[in-house]
Amino acid sequence: MSKDEEKVNLRRLEPAIQKFIKVAIPTDLERLRKHQINIEKYQRCRLWDKLHEEHINAGRTVQVRRWRP
C-alpha cells in the first residue's frame, strides 16, 4: 500500500475515530466513576456481595475498552 493510499484510508477513518473520542471514552469514564462511587458505598455499608458484583462490572467496563477500540 502506498503512502497516498494510507492517507486516504486514514482520512476515511477520521470521523469514526473522532466520534469514538467524543462519545465512547467519556461514556466509559462516567460509567467507571459510577462504579467507583458504588464500590465505596458498598464497602462502607459492608455489602460484600454487591461490592463483589460491582468490582466485576467495573472490570468488564475496562475489558470492553481494552479489546474494542
Structure confidence by residue, pLDDT tens digits, 21-48: 999 899 999 999 999 999 999 999 999 9
Query: To which residue does cell 484510508 refer?
Result: 9
HSE (CB half, 13 Å, CA atoms) of 63?
A: 6
- CA-CA distances (angstroms) from residue 2 to 8, 10, 20, 49, 63? 10, 12, 27, 55, 34
Higher-scoring residue by pLDDT: 10, 25? 25
Is this prediction's pTM over 0.85?
no
pLDDT, residue 53, reads 98
Q: Is the pLDDT of residue 68 over 60?
A: no
Query: To which residue does cell 469514564 refer?
Result: 29
How would residue 11 be classed by pLDDT, with cut points 50, 70 and 90? confident
